[in-house]
A and B are shown apart, each in its own frame.
Chain A
Amino acid sequence: RKEVEQDPGPFNVPEGATVAFNCTYSNSASQSFFWYRQDCRKEPKLLMSVYSSGNEDGRFTAQLNRASQYISLLIRDSKLSDSATYLCVVNRGNFNKFYFGSGTKLNVKP
């Protein structure tokens, strides 16, 4: 079983829509969680960290469910510029090794 699993998509949504992605992780000892965004032919960039209490940054909301071992990313009022691949990242804490999901592709259409 993979450490981190994501639905590859693509998710095709109209501008203004709300879209949500989930990501599951296999190791209950995982301690840190992040969402990264990767644009076509670019390197991944940190979108937001995911805290136990959940956190919000503008149109983006991230949540962690430790009991079910998943994290989620909600994007409200989608913009064309949100089109990208969203990568879920999990860190176990020992020696700071990170595990990446394979990414979920989002296409926001006019």
Chain B
Amino acid sequence: GAGVSQSPSNKVTEKGKDVELRCDPISGHTALYWYRQSLGQGLEFLIYFQGNSAPDKSGLPSDRFSAERTGGSVSTLTIQRTQQEDSAVYLCASSLAGGSSYTFGSGTRLTVV
């Protein structure tokens, strides 16, 4: 597609439930990133996929968080047993390899109640 697509745009879930957030990157972009941003805060790096390399998971805050990228394209971020502190906007971005800039999706606003 023309841009990075994320779904759902908004998600309200009950504490303790699992959620899946989807990111569809720009076609041909080999690098994909997940960030999260709490209200009024900066971007917090979560995970990074680059081609067929092992993902950089160094930013995942706990083992309740996991992400996959199937076929080098679509990525799913899964949060198990959600907690209220997981409430944030989850942003996905993609880029071509080689240090070029990247493009963000419009994010998924997750609210855990």
Q: Which residues of A are at the interface with B, using a C-beta cutoff of 8 A?
A: 31-32, 34, 42-46, 49, 87, 89, 91, 93, 95-103
Pick the 10 closest A-B CB pairs, nearest first. A102-B42, A32-B99, A43-B104, A100-B43, A91-B99, A46-B101, A96-B31, A95-B50, A34-B101, A43-B106
Please, how many angstroms separate the alpha-carbon atoms of A93 and B95 in the complex? Answer: 13
Could you list some 18 contacts between A and B, CB below 8 A? A31-B99, A32-B99, A42-B106, A43-B91, A43-B105, A44-B43, A45-B104, A46-B101, A46-B103, A95-B48, A95-B50, A96-B31, A96-B95, A96-B97, A96-B98, A97-B56, A98-B95, A98-B102
Whether the pair A95, B99 counts as a contact (CB closer than 8 A) is: no
Interface residues on B, range: 20 to 34
A34 contact set on B, CB distance < 8 A: 101
Q: For chains A and B in complex, what number of residue pairs have CB atoms within 8 angstroms?
A: 50
Taking Cβ atoms with an 8 Å cutoff, the residues of B that contact A are: 31, 33, 35, 41-43, 45, 48, 50, 53, 56, 91, 95, 97-107
CB distance from A65 to the nearest CB of B (A): 19
Whole-angstrom CA separation of A91 from B95 in the bound complex: 12
A34 to chain B, nearest CB (A): 5
When chains A and B are docked, how far (Å) is the Cα of A102 from the Cα of B40? 10
List residues of chain B with CB within 8 A of the CB of A101. 42
